[in-house]
Structure 1
Amino acid sequence: MSRDYFNTQSLGVPLNRMVKEARILMVGAGGIGCELLKNLVLAGFGEVHIVDLDTIDLSNLNRQFLFRHEHIKKSKALVAKDAAHKFNPRVKLEAHHANIKDPQFNVDWFKGFTIVFNALDNLDARRHVNKMCIAADIPLIESGTTGFNGQVQVIKKGVAACYDCTPKETPKTFPVCTIRSTPSQPIHCIVWGKSYLLSEIFGASEDDSPEMDHSEDSENAQEIEKLRQEAQALKNIREAMGTDSFPQLLFDKVYKDDVVRLRSMEEMWKTRRRPEPLDYATVIEKASDAEARKDKILKDGQRVWSLEENVVVFRDSLSRLSRRMAEMKSSGEVSAEPVITFDKDDEDTLDFVTAGANLRSIVFGIETKSRFDIKQMAGNIIPAIATTNAIVAGLCVLQSYKVLRGQFGSTKEVFLSPFASERLLASDRLRAPNPDCPVCSPAQTRVLIDMSRATLGDLVDDFLKMELGYGEEIVVNHGDNLLYDLDETENLAKKLSELGIKGDSFLTIIDDNDDDPKGPRVNLILNVQES
């Protein structure tokens, strides 16, 4: 009773009643999420649903205060629910250890909430929640932090700009020739270890990596062809995985033979330091002391390892990954060739990338890095600050009070910039939606479809053209996939289910008819519902 009394005193009777009746969705239970959940339960919000896919890692404990050492490897959502419930047992908490993109979290499910809070560090998931809130017409409070900086933004369909109204910075990419032939910075060697060497031995080809920029391939056709031949040679070495000769075959291939080939290209080294090849047998002969200290080396991730120490870690991590690959193959759980991908929290892949990148740096005379530094660089980690998360979470709740009252005009986009010359918190007035935004500017509606029978032709001819009046010059997209336009008609006879469309899919309809005297019809985002 005392908590509710003071909440009423602070918020007033009408707003406090709205808070207690509100049904909240919080996506993400990490740094911001822990602080935000604590604020929501202490403020007395009536019902809060928490969705998070992740489990708790040791590195989370310094700032995600709802978690303890005994919670490591457990679900963030479930542990956060249990921990936060003790702050206010009257609040109804529901935890979902799941991906917010799972089909059960559809548009109708989103419509059941009063406000959605985003506490995510994932661009793709943020965009998905933004799209779902626009489709469901539910207010979204988006937040984020990068080090000491933070931001809070209120999003409301037709009223305030959505997350995609402004273009987002694309991930940094590096030319293939720089990564594979002429590295000059530690990050070049780290990307080589993560996106090339690890992928070629234990995963998919580096051609699929978003960090490798192929835009210059045509300008370096001869060198690219040589690099493809090197990649093919690696695939042949991969066949020796698990044998005693495997570490030496791989090491001598990438740190000696490939380097000797590069050294022979005189033009390449007129203005650069020529790389120095390494010989496995020679280095291993000098690494007996490091081999004896292997366990101690592996526990010391803050120190920069020597050449011999890196070779020992390289060989040990290669052995661990080879055993894991063999176990995956023998288990029969996957029918296709098993794949091991880099994960900053996976010690085996992190050790392999650290040692592999450092050996590459030694070859090219580049500064080597500690495993701690490489984890941050390879995982694109920006240090998280607990105080920043706490301030941003508090701002989220303050903005939610305005949203509950329907006072969107008084909500602000707030920026936390402690090193700015003005002041700690800077706010900007609500931004209007971008009329060219591909997510919130098109009209939105839903269509009920019998997925067992309906074809793309039924949708185009009987619904879009006959019912909605679109002309011939329309384009139908499913995500990045073109399904139909004037020149692409082969899909018309296919069932929608065959084209990957299922319940709660989104189709984008674009009218390209510029000659219509009445002008083109509006662009449309169509939410498909199975019926």
Structure 2
Amino acid sequence: MAINPIMMTNTDLVNSKIDLDTIDVSNLNRQFLFRKEHVGKSKALVAKESAQAFNPDANIIAHHGNIMVPEYGVDFFKKFNVVMNALDNRAARNHVNRMCLAADVPLIESGTAGYLGQVDVIKKGKTECYECQPKAAQKTFPGCTIRNTPSEPIHCIVWAKHLFNQLFGEDDPDQEVSPDTEDPEAAGDAGQSALSAEAEKDVAGGIKRKSTRVWSQEIGYDPAKLFNKFFRDDVKYLLSMENLWKKRRPPVAQDWNEVCQHSTETSLESESGLQDQRIWSMSECALMFGKSISQLKADLAARGDGGMLVWDKDDEAAMNFVTATANIRAHIYGIVTKSRFEIKSMAGNIIPAIATTNAIIAALIVMEGLKILSGNFEKCRNVFLTRQPNFRKRLLVPCTLNPPNPKCYVCCEKPEVVVKLNPKHVTVKILEDKILKGGLNMVAPDVEVDDGKGTILISSEEGETDDNHDKPLATFNIGDGTRLKCDDFLQAYEVVITIKEVEKLENEAEFEIVGDLESLLDQVAEKTDEQKKAESKNGVVAMEDEDVVMETTPTAGTKRKASQEIVSTPKKPRHDDDVIVL
């Protein structure tokens, strides 16, 4: 953990640490401040106590909270001399980046991924910001692959997580798990044959007329009926889409009674010490499917508020459900099955964390922070920790700081982007949630149409523009060339969006952000020779961001995203989920 700066001996220095997270058992293997007795407690508070055990004179203020709230606004960031990030999700990193730019406070980004690590120094007007280079998009898979034709374990794991949400979480239509009848590869025979008579008379017959969640509740989350719906009847329906199986192995439907006839309670309880490493048999998967559903049903009932469950890789029942479900689906499609340990790593996008790597990166953060605090910013460097020594036999490779990208849509003087979309189909809600918050990383956007009338399209004031949500943009005369003035008061960030009207986009996408964002791709190659050598000769690899299971927040005085990718290309490796500000 990048916690070391808290142990500085300067008693006049105020250190603040902000973290939304609590300590989990899985956190204990990659840092030195948490112990088993701390599990369940606030990371920020325990980190403060542990650091002060080393240096009781350290002035540390712990904040157990979310960095992306108004309480930690620009004025809060301005109180500090430097901000240090160690976040594990892109949304928080983007936010802290913008807060530090708005407050004109130097930011030290950091990240680790296995044996790799990176520290980056960011200062407004002098260096690239976190968003100066485009970040690789989160890996996604076509819906028809997930629903109809999985070919890899990860496809089955994504499907299993979607099924969890359909049954116990948010019933999101974008995470539908039933066969995709509009699969273009089916070339017309999808939907031509209805569900077989066998499926029609079974419990699955009504599922197509109501949500999975409602139907599951009506049958009392009966494991046998759920199993037969998803692993027998849906598979038989997929087999009726014959074009899908002309060049690939067809799936094999499974029946609950046949699979469970050899299962016993003791089979899952044997070899308990190796349980996570062992690959369960099909009968064991079916048994765990039923047990986990019963537990999750009880967890849902215990809420007593008609709410929903949120999938968490560290929740035993949720993880057992995904493991069993993914392996059953993998077996049906002839895909190799995985252990619970392997599935947990893939389902949570977990990059192994190594305590020594974290310690090295934490020390580098402190060294760069000391340069800033002593007024020697010109001596700051971006530093890569590589897996193999470079041609100079170095594992640590310092690189000069890159100047700001003049076309960055965040830190340039007048940020502008172009968005391709069909205003007849894209609603105001899609603009807010998927384009502004998802694509442009805003938190609480306000949008005004630049039409001379001051039409307010989106307001961050609760309820003020809710009536606009379901209206297509065309309703407000938004078309080709329309300019939208967008700002986020929390981030002190403004951007102008120019609409490029198109009838249809590739892959049936709802929108595409282009313009200056697209031109940033050309900037990736324009690096110093020193940086190129660090990347090409030293085994530096781009790492994917971890899924955001819980938001972490920076420490006092900082709103910035941590964990920059290990490469200087647009991905940031994960570090622990903390932000420290001095």
Confirm or deny that 1:94 pairs with 2:80: no
Matched, 1:377 2:346: yes
Inter-partner Cα distance in structure 2 for 1:342 and 1:488? 45
Is 1:201–1:235's contact at 8 Å kept on the other side of the alignment? no
1:378-397 correspondence runs (5 A): 378-397=347-366
The 3-state SS of whatever aligns with 2:287 is helix
CA distance in 1, matches of 2:496, 2:352: 42
CA contact (8 A) 1:151 1:413 kept: yes
Is 1:308 the counterpart of 2:283 in the alignment? yes
Shift of residue 510, structure 1, vs aligned partner: 3.2
Equivalent residue for 1:201? 167
Does the 8 Å CA contact 1:297/1:309 hold for their aligned counterparts? no
1:491 to 456, 461, 484: 456
- The TM-score normalised by the length of structure 2 is 0.68
Letter in 2 for 1:171: Q
- What SS class does the counterpart of residue 217 from structure 2 fall into? coil
Q: Is 1:175 matched up with 2:146?
A: no
* TM-superposed deviation, 1:418: 2.1
Question: What is the deviation of 1:494?
Answer: 7.8
CA distance in 2, matches of 1:384, 1:88: 26
Tell me: CA distance 1:205–1:419, structure 2 relative to 1, closer, same or farther (3 Å): farther
**Aligned CA distance change for structure 1 residues 245 and 41 (closer, same or farther; 3 Å):** closer
Aligned position for 1:327: 302
- The answer as to whether partners of 2:187 and 2:243 remain within 8 angstroms in 1 is no
Separation in 1, partners of 2:400, 2:276: 46
RCO comparison, higher one (Cα < 8 Å, 6+) = 2
SS in 1 for 2:2: helix
* Distance in 2 between residues matched to 1:506 and 1:129, nearest whole Å: 11
Distance change (3 Å), C-alpha of 1:389 and 1:282: same
**Cα-to-partner distance string for 1:492-522 (whole Å, 9 max, x where unaligned):** 898966259996364525397xxxxxxxxxx
Contact 1:259 1:277 survives alignment (8 Å)? yes
Q: Which residue of 1 aligns with 2:246?
A: 270
Task: Provide Cα deviations, 1:160-181, integer angstroms capped at 9, x if missing partner.
Answer: 1111111112110001111111
2:211 corresponds in structure 1 to 235
**Counterpart pick for 2:224 among 221, 241, 248:** 248
Question: What residue is the counterpart of 1:426 in the other structure?
Answer: 397
**Which of 93, 100, 105 pairs up with 1:133?**
100
Which of 78, 90, 95 is the equivalent residue of 1:123?
Answer: 90
1:439 CA drift (Å): 1.5
Instruction: Label 1:480 to 1:244 Cα distance change in 2 as closer, same or farther (>3 A).
Output: closer
**C-alpha offsets along residues 267-326 of structure 1, whole Å, 9 cap, x if unaligned?**
222221121111101122221x3x234445777111111111111110000011111222
Alignment check: 8 A CA contact 2:99 2:491 kept: no
| 1:331-356 deviation per Cα after TM superposition (whole angstroms, max 9, x unaligned) | 23xxxx52222111111111111000
How many residues of Structure 1 are paired with residues of Structure 2 in the alignment? 437
Query: What is the root-mean-square deviation in Å for CA atoms of aligned residues?
Result: 3.4
Identity of aligned residues (%): 44
Larger Rg: 1
Aligned to 1:363: 332
Cα distance in 1, alignment partners of residues 298 and 40 from structure 2: 22
Matches within 5 A, 1:43-192: 46-192=13-159
Matches of 1:365 and 1:353, distance apart in 2: 18
**Distance change (3 Å), C-alpha of 1:158 and 1:318:** same
Indicate how the Cα distance of structure 1 residues 49 and 217 shifts in structure 2: closer, same or farther if over 3 A, else same.
farther
Contact 1:165 1:437 in 2 (8 A): yes
Letter in 2 for 1:55: T
Letter in 1 for 2:244: M
Gaps of 5+ in 1: 1-31, 445-476, 513-531
Q: Tell me the secondary structure at the aligned position of residue 17 of structure 2.
A: strand
Give the 3 Å change call, closer, same or farther, for CA 83–491 of structure 1 in structure 2: same
8 Å contact from structure 2 (residues 121, 368) kept in 1: yes
Of 297, 322, 338, which aligns to 1:353? 322
Give the Cα–Cα distance (whole angstroms) in 2 for the partners of residues 345 and 421 of structure 1: 38
Query: Does the 8 Å contact 1:234/1:250 carry over to 2?
Result: no
The alignment partner of 2:80 has SS state of coil
Question: What secondary structure does 1:153 align onto?
Answer: strand
- Rate the CA distance shift 1:68–1:51 in 2: closer, same or farther, 3 A: same
Cα drift, residue 442 of structure 1: 2.9
Which letter maps to 1:69? K
After TM superposition, the structure 1 stretch with the greater mean CA deviation from structure 2, 106-115 or 400-409, is: 400-409
Supply the distance in 2 between the matched residues of 1:191 and 1:117 (Cα, whole angstroms).
Answer: 33
Residues 175 and 504 of structure 1: is their aligned pair in 2 closer, same or farther, counting only changes over 3 Å? closer
- Give the structure with the larger helix fraction: 1
TM-score by length of 1: 0.74
- Higher deviation after alignment, 418-427 or 94-103: 418-427
Deviation, 1:483, is: 2.8
Residue 292 of structure 1 is matched in structure 2 by: 266
Q: Among 504, 507, 510, which residue is 2:496 paired with?
A: 510
- Unmatched 5+ stretches in structure 2: 196-203, 416-441, 467-486, 499-582
Query: Could you say if the C-alpha distance between residues 135 and 208 of structure 1 is closer, same or farther in structure 2, counting changes exceeding 3 Å?
Result: farther
DSSP 3-state at the match of 1:241: helix
SS in 2 for 1:259: helix
Report how far residue 46 of structure 1 moved. 2.2
Whole-Å Cα distance in 1 between the matches of residues 193 and 105 of structure 2?
A: 51
Shift of 1:438: 1.6
Report the CA distance shift for 1:382/1:499 in structure 2 as closer, same or farther (over 3 A).
Answer: same
- One-letter amino acid matched to 1:349: A
Determine the C-alpha separation between the residues in 2 that align with 1:346 and 1:112.
38
User: Shift of residue 237 of structure 1?
Assistant: 7.1
